[in-house]
Amino acid sequence: MHRHIIHSASLTFCLTGLLTANEAIDIIDTSSHELTPASKMSLDDISTQLENPLTSLWSITLENSYRSISGNSVNGSTEANVLNFQPGMPIPMANDFTFIARPVFPLVTSPVLDTNGDTIKHTTGIGDIQMLSLYGPDKSKGFVWGLGTTMKFPTASSEFIGAGKWQAGPAAMAFHFGDKWTLGALAEHWWSFAGDSDRAHTNETNIKYIVRHKLPDAWSIGAGPTIAINWKEKPNNRYTIPVGLGLSKTAKFGELPIKFRLEAHYNLVRPDNIGQEWQILFRIAPVIPSPFSQP
Q: How many domains does the chain have?
A: 1
* 29 assigned to some structural domain: no
Which residues is 80 bridged to in the sheet?
67
User: pTM (2 decimals)?
Assistant: 0.87
12 domain-assigned: no
Domain of 173, in residue numbers: 43-288
118 assigned to some structural domain: yes
**Would residue 228 count as lying in a domain?**
yes
Cβ–Cβ < 8 Å for 176, 200: no
pLDDT in tens, the chain (295 residues): 444 434 444 444 444 444 444 444 445 555 545 667 777 789 999 999 999 999 989 999 999 999 999 999 999 999 999 999 999 999 999 888 999 999 999 999 999 999 888 999 999 999 999 999 999 998 889 999 999 999 999 999 999 999 999 999 999 999 999 999 999 999 999 999 999 999 999 999 999 999 999 999 999 999 999 999 999 999 999 999 999 999 999 999 988 999 999 999 999 999 999 999 999 999 999 999 888 766 5
Instruction: Provide the CATH number for the domain around residue 279.
Output: 2.40.160.40
Strands of the chain (E only): list them: 58-70, 77-88, 91-93, 97-113, 119-126, 130-137, 142-152, 165-177, 181-195, 203-215, 219-223, 226-230, 239-253, 256-269, 275-288
How far is it, in rounded angstroms, from Cα 265 to Cα 248?
15
Give domain status of residue 239, yes or no: yes
- DSSP states along 107-157: EEEEEEE-TTS-EEEEEEEE---EEEEEEEE--SSEEEEEEEEEEE----S
